[in-house]
Chain A
Amino acid sequence: MRGGTAVRTAQADSDELQRLMSGYQQADREAAAKLVERVSPMLLRFLAGPLQTRAYAEDMLQECWLRIHRSRHTYRPGTPVLPWFFAIARYTRIDAYRRRRQIDANELAVEDLSTSGAGQSALPDAADTDLWRLVGQLPPSQQEVIQMLKVTGLSLEEVARATGSSVGSVKQKAHRAYQKLRELLNLDSAARKNA
């Protein structure tokens, strides 16, 4: 029974988001404001990931909304809303990561190489839980799937849409990630026992 209620709640949420998104396309200010309020925390949680500072994630969130705003005509009424948002958020994160790498590379060229680790120490303010610490050790594609599936709470189909891949490919990445996490947890547990 509880499962059925959860499905109905998720469906109602999805319908409500679709309604707000349609309003946003029709320049309904109230719908747009509500959408910003409802979707931003989810996007921020995804953009923050295991390795980003809060300030950096907030900058990415603003950039992500600019992209959403410019791309709002590409949402088709009646289709799932969250995969559409997360597909844009995903590319915002990828681009931000590329830009950051370029900037880091340029800075490294003029700075002493021995200080290269200093930039990283400023990054992880989100690595405050075991989950973030361990997920941060997974390959990026597995990190992304685990974040969407288990942290943000999207379904397999929604993750497949957001990442532009098939459900089978998402499952494969998730299962590899579970296996890797099991191994990391075992290592962690052995290290704690030894300590």
Chain B
Amino acid sequence: MTCQEVNEYLDRTSPADMSGLPEVVRKHLDNCECCQRLWGLLSRRPCPRQVPEPVRSRIEQDVLGSLEPVKPLPEPGKLTLAFALVFGGFSALFAVLMASSDAPGVSTASFAAFAGVIGVIALWLSVTLSREMVPGEIWRLSRIATHAVAVVGLFGAMALVFPWRIDEPFVQEAWKCYKAGFVLALPAAVLAVLLLRRGVLFSPRFACAGAGFLGGLVGTFSLHFSCPTIGAAHITVGHLMVPVTGAVIGFAAGHLASARWSAENVPGPAVSS
């Protein structure tokens, strides 16, 4: 038994209660002064803090004074579906409205695969956004890692599907697509933020960045159906920069909102349903 293995027991047991402790741990504690001291320290819980009566009655006044029934947020699956529908609805609408009659410059399988990757990333972001709304949800990946996976997935798929070349006139064409994508992204991003506001946003920066990214994906998806240019340079700048810009703008907006809530001393950015 090593000190590291004792850590495992410390994680799962209360040091104050030695009753269920295996013999091997007891022996280690008898022989290892370091662990003995640590065990002793952690078994000394500070005295329970009693809430003074005036404080408790003030809290009760606040809570009971404005007590009204509330409807709990829907199941996580339903919230995910709502975000996915925001993406799917706008994407399908714009794709149909803007669909180009020209045959895509890549094979049908590659064309469908890239559209599928955008859809999967949108679903991934929908799951993430639904988690942002509820305190106490378990996160298997950090927020930064979650967004990084989305960006890497998008650019990785693009690199695999589209040929590496620069189509001329590069700047004009890319700028045209970028502007169009950005306009198409706005309604979905706004709707996603409105949905988010039904929950509690503890990380407004990342929540709004996710909403901006999701909106941007609507733009990318619609451009995929309408733009005949298939050079990777054009796709990177004209199409994929739309969700990236959306995420950056969302992050900045979240930062401003968070600073405002903090300055106004608003007790939490939650908007009651």
Cα–Cα, bound, A175→B2 (Å): 13
Cα–Cα, bound, A151→B16 (Å): 11
Cα–Cα, bound, A66→B273 (Å): 15
Question: Which B200-219 residues have a C-beta within 8 angstroms of A?
Answer: 200, 202-203
Contact of A182 among B17, B34, B48, B71 (CB under 8 A): B34
Identity of the chain A residue whose Cβ is nearest the Cβ of B67 in the assembled complex: A27
With A69-B66, A153-B14, A185-B38 as given contacts, are A44 and B51 in contact (CB-CB < 8 Å)? yes
With A156-B11, A186-B34 as given contacts, are A166 and B55 in contact (CB-CB < 8 Å)? no
Is A151 touching B49 in the complex (CB atoms < 8 A)? Answer: no
Interface centre among A58, A151, A155, by most chain B C-beta atoms within 10 angstroms, is A58
Of the stretches A12-20, A110-118, A123-131, the one at the interface is A123-131
Cα–Cα, bound, A85→B135 (Å): 8
Contact of B37 among A67, A83, A164, A189 (CB under 8 A): A189
Cα–Cα, bound, A58→B58 (Å): 11
* CB of A87 within 8 Å of the partner chain: yes
Is A88 touching B19 in the complex (CB atoms < 8 A)? Answer: no
* CB of A104 within 8 Å of the partner chain: no
Main secondary structure of the interface of A (DSSP, over half): helix
Q: What 0/1 readout, one digit per residue, does chain B (63-106) give for beta carbons within 8 Å of chain A?
A: 11011111111011000000000000000000000000000000
Contact of B268 among A3, A58, A88, A169 (CB under 8 A): A88
Least CB distance, B27 to chain A, in whole angstroms: 18
Question: Which A56-80 residues have a C-beta within 8 angstroms of B?
Answer: 57-58, 61-63, 65-67, 69-77, 79-80
* CB of B50 within 8 Å of the partner chain: yes
Q: Which residues of B contact A107 (CB under 8 A)?
A: none
Beyond the given A79-B136, A185-B37, please list 6 additional residue pairs across the A-B interface where CB-CB is below 8 A. A27-B69, A40-B59, A67-B267, A85-B136, A131-B46, A150-B14
Which B positions have Cβ atoms within 8 angstroms of A?
A: 3-4, 7, 10-12, 14-15, 17, 19-20, 34-35, 37-38, 41-42, 44-46, 48-52, 55-56, 58-60, 62-64, 66-73, 75-76, 133-143, 199-200, 202-203, 262, 265, 267-268, 270, 272-273
